[in-house]
Structure 1
Amino acid sequence: MVVGEISQERDLVIIGGGPGGYSAAIRAAQLGLSATLIEQSQLGGVCLNEGCIPSKVFTHAAGKLAEKPHLQDLGISGIDMEFNINQLLAYKTKIIKRLRTGIEKLCKENKIELIYGKATFLDENRIGVENGHQFDIFTCKNTIIATGSSPVMPLEVTIRSTRILLAHEIFNLPEIPDDLLVMGNDYIALEVASCFAALGSHVTIFIENQSGLPFDESINKELLRLFKKRKVSLINKVKLLSTAETEDGITLTVQSDKNREETFAGSYLYVSGERMPNIETTGIARFGIHQNDQGFIKVDENMESSIKSIYAIGDVTEGPRLAAKAIKQGKAAVEVISGGKPEVDLTFLPTIVHTLPPIASVGITEQDVKEHGIDARICEFPMRSNGYAAITANSEGFIKVISDTNTSIVLGIHMIGEGAVELSSSFVQLLEMAAKEEDMKFPSYAHPSYGEGLFEAVEGLVGQAIHMAPID
């Protein structure tokens, strides 16, 4: 310690104010712990300010615009539904600001000390926080690293251009591209493709190598059908070779699985990129926290790193980069620190994609059934047979249920169709409780509702679905 250095003592310091970080801070306050939350930029992290929320604003707008023919069917006419990108961007900003203000208020009401600045470990128990000309030092009993991740441009993208966009940039675009090239198959890439197509862009999706679409094979097939219907082109099994900027756009050169090179032109290129942990400025290299080859922090079942009293949560750790994971881990880490014994099991972490219509997937897929030789019953209930879907003109898609033939335990539930996101919570609960077919058939379901589709998919496993033709 240098002469004159003053270190302030803190019980718990959380570095990063994203969903995991601020949830951990609030949970700490609920448990009677004194929490200090340090945020370098803006509360809410990437999810609120650049990722999840902005993307959902755009997909919500695209969904509303797509309702125009249905509104006319309902006798609602004379409405000017021309799209204005500037108004949408203003609405996005308003929503983000409202939610961020809400988090700030919650921190204040929970008496959480909120500090803005760049936090760096000086050693295992001391953190320095730099904010302009001010530099404060804190001695911490426990620390939670919740610094998140950032997308990294693939090496094949050798040029830097305002027309090549990552996830945190695409939803700030001041125009709707005439032609949008999308490289990737993760949830953001598919949401970008779906919503920009609905907003007026001609979209071409490129999926590298052999990955293909990442869902149950029935959902993959249905999504391909819907993309084709909406004139979204999808080119699978390619290798990105190069990119180049032209006077009015971007060209993309790829190699097909048949070793044929093709070049495509677009107004803009969206690239998913690989998300890497934000650890460069944390200073953890000073004392050797265990990390994997990509730099993600290794943690145990308690979210504790290899250094006792230092925990890590969310995108900075191994595993899926999802806000739901960060929130779960953040609250659990604090409970461990307070002496509790929480359990974090991400087996049934749902896959959610806000395409048009949305996708929700939990548990094993039909591919898993075939690969592992599972004796299973499988039923797909088409949403076109659902009464409420007919009323709302949301009859595309289906609900698919997979159960074990011998035990009747439900192993997987997959849905593409309106209501999938909201129903996903029920899917997770059913799989977590190891529900059997009878458990799902016994309750009464609201009528009419999208949820009835789940009921009939389960009944269809044994040929009892009323609104579905018998399966030979």
Structure 2
Amino acid sequence: MVVGELIQEKELIIIGGGPGGYTAAIRAAQLGLQVTLIEKEELGGVCLNKGCIPSKVYTHAAGELDSFPHLQDLGIDAAKPAINLDKLIDYKNRITDQLKKGVAALCKANKIEVINGEATFLSQDRIGVEAGHDFQTFRFEKAIIAAGGKPVAPEGISGNDRIFISYDIFSLTEVPEQLIVKGGDVIALEMATTFQAFGSSVTVLLEENEDFPFDAAVSKELRRIFKKRKIKLQADCRNVRTASTTNGVTVTFIDKKGEETSVEGSHFYTTGTLSVDVAGLGIDRLGVEMTPDGRVKIDSEMKTNIPSVYAIGDLTPGPALAVKAIKQGKAVAEIAAGGTSEVDLTLLPTIAHTLPPVASAGLSETEAQDFGYKIKTSQFPLASNGYASILGRKDGFVKVIAEEGTDLILGVHMIGAGAIELSGMMATGLEMVARAEDFTFPNYAHPSVNESILEAVEGLIGQAIHMVPK
């Protein structure tokens, strides 16, 4: 390693070029700061290159494949399709390459200096960057850590190349004959419905007391759809372990009766648990405070206990979601530039690109009751929506939860066609402290799936047109 003799002066250094990091870099550049962005692998981070974008390529492909029977109903005659994973991987790579080049172009257009290398804090105002045999030293005025994390296998999960942790499954070139999925988290559920659509026989194992992360009514509907799709569901599993076999994987666990049970599969998948690698960043040298669970402790302005150092994204407390990192990235750039900003994740939408998709914002029925609200609910079935019938996507519903007496909307939950796209409308309404009349007053395009939200809210006040009265 050759140590450079010069210390270069930088105004703002950002470590990590994922969604949070490059968003912070662009926003800071817009505000007139001189920005240096350091990324040890590829711009876009795990989200663009391995996680969010590739996974949605797969869920989109599953949705298109799943629509084939409806195409026949529409009179579109064709041979029954099958998934070609080699071509899907090629498409995934082309999409990620295109988006990555777009990020690079945006950085260049905003005059952001991008350095490829591994950054390490040397002191409270210095960072060293190693790239191969080269080592550069920078003195900074402010630094933002957006280094992210990586998935690791849970305890007891180990074996052969048929066991996949998180995004490793997107390198698979054959459709699993029997796929065992561990976990009820969003990504696990997406992989379960995706590979079932591809032709796999799927079994989902839920840990003891684990359930889907949705309102109870949505979870119940998703269970019904799993049964309809012949996705097996095994709940209350303890001490899940994997072992390699000649042709695949054996998964053993203690069932709800306390008995040891095993299931055989050709392949195994789990989202894994997030590991935040801060040791390599050298922040221990700075004395950066950490939370008990190993995340970087920050205040409401994303500042660490070191005045010149901020942190955002997966390595900070809260959900490990790109939307959180992006929001924090914009806000921290504005704060670093001397302005004011805030991040409120209270109404962060929950979405799942399952078949059918799920989206929700606000409180579930149980949460609303736990907070002491006296509530009323309304549930409008997509089977009663004209456009959902046209799409051949009649599974699912919209559920609205409101406070009795004030009609204040506390939560909106949807499973079915269009849910992901409507999640922004749900969150916007809740952020604006909407009441029922705020949803019912605007005009809704007809025919459209978004009319289902209108009718679900109208159902709260007994005015839904296409719903049988209670």
The answer to whether TM tops 0.5 is yes
CA contact (8 A) 2:382 2:394 kept: yes
Aligned residue number for residue 162 of structure 1: 161
Equivalent position amino acid for 1:164 in 2: I
Equivalent position amino acid for 1:261 in 2: E
Equivalents in 2 of 1:12, 1:258: separation in Å?
57
Aligned residue number for residue 194 of structure 2: 195
Identity %: 52
Aligned residue number for residue 324 of structure 1: 323
Aligned residue number for residue 99 of structure 1: 99
Equivalents in 1 of 2:276, 2:83: separation in Å?
37
Cα 1:105–1:79 change in 2 (3 A) is farther
Task: After TM superposition, give the deviation of residue 162 of structure 1 in Å.
Answer: 1.2
CA contact (8 A) 2:82 2:198 kept: no
Structure 2 counterpart SS, 1:5: strand
Equivalents in 2 of 1:172, 1:285: separation in Å?
35
Structure 2 counterpart SS, 1:128: strand
Aligned residue number for residue 32 of structure 2: 32
CA contact (8 A) 2:48 2:96 kept: yes
Structure 2 residue 172 is matched with structure 1 residue 173: yes
Equivalents in 2 of 1:79, 1:215: separation in Å?
37
Structure 1 counterpart SS, 2:171: coil
Deviations 1:212-243 (A, max 9, x none): 11110000000000000001011111113421
Query: For this pair of structures, how many residues does the alignment match?
Result: 469
Deviations 1:336-395 (A, max 9, x none): 011111121000000010001100011111112343442111001000000000001011
Equivalents in 2 of 1:214, 1:267: separation in Å?
27
Task: After TM superposition, give the deviation of residue 79 of structure 1 in Å.
Answer: 4.7
Equivalents in 2 of 1:147, 1:253: separation in Å?
35
Structure 2 residue 87 is matched with structure 1 residue 87: yes
Task: After TM superposition, give the deviation of residue 404 of structure 1 in Å.
Answer: 0.7
Equivalents in 1 of 2:5, 2:377: separation in Å?
67
CA contact (8 A) 1:212 1:237 kept: no
Equivalent position amino acid for 2:461 in 1: V
Root mean square deviation of aligned Cα: 1.3
CA contact (8 A) 2:369 2:375 kept: no
Alignment of 1:11-22 (within 5 A): 11-22=11-22
CA contact (8 A) 1:143 1:311 kept: yes
Equivalents in 2 of 1:139, 1:222: separation in Å?
55
TM-score normalised to structure 1 length: 0.98
CA contact (8 A) 1:50 1:167 kept: no
Deviations 1:223-281 (A, max 9, x none): 00000000101111111342110011010001112211101111111112211213131
Aligned residue number for residue 8 of structure 2: 8
Equivalent position amino acid for 2:104 in 1: E
CA contact (8 A) 2:374 2:403 kept: yes
Task: After TM superposition, give the deviation of residue 294 of structure 1 in Å.
Answer: 2.5
Equivalents in 1 of 2:104, 2:337: separation in Å?
24
CA contact (8 A) 1:376 1:403 kept: yes
Cα 1:266–1:5 change in 2 (3 A) is same
CA contact (8 A) 1:302 1:333 kept: yes
TM-score normalised to structure 2 length: 0.98
Aligned residue number for residue 153 of structure 1: 153
Aligned residue number for residue 57 of structure 1: 57
Structure 1 counterpart SS, 2:14: strand
Structure 2 gaps of 5+ residues are none
Equivalents in 1 of 2:82, 2:282: separation in Å?
50
Alignment of 1:453-472 (within 5 A): 453-471=452-470
Equivalent position amino acid for 1:67 in 2: S
Equivalent position amino acid for 1:305 in 2: T
Equivalents in 1 of 2:121, 2:218: separation in Å?
46
CA contact (8 A) 2:3 2:136 kept: no
Task: After TM superposition, give the deviation of residue 203 of structure 1 in Å.
Answer: 0.6
Deviations 1:74-94 (A, max 9, x none): 111035622211111110111
Deviations 1:35-74 (A, max 9, x none): 0000000111111111111110000000001111111111
Alignment of 1:165-244 (within 5 A): 165-244=164-243
Equivalents in 2 of 1:171, 1:75: separation in Å?
33
Task: After TM superposition, give the deviation of residue 445 of structure 1 in Å.
Answer: 0.3
Cα 1:70–1:241 change in 2 (3 A) is closer
Structure 2 counterpart SS, 1:10: strand
Equivalent position amino acid for 2:94 in 1: K
Structure 2 residue 398 is matched with structure 1 residue 364: no
Cα 1:225–1:24 change in 2 (3 A) is same
Equivalents in 1 of 2:303, 2:275: separation in Å?
20
Alignment of 1:330-409 (within 5 A): 330-409=329-408
Deviations 1:272-303 (A, max 9, x none): 22112131310001121111123210100100
Task: After TM superposition, give the deviation of residue 3 of structure 1 in Å.
Answer: 9.8
Structure 1 counterpart SS, 2:279: coil
Aligned residue number for residue 442 of structure 1: 441
Alignment of 1:259-270 (within 5 A): 259-270=258-269
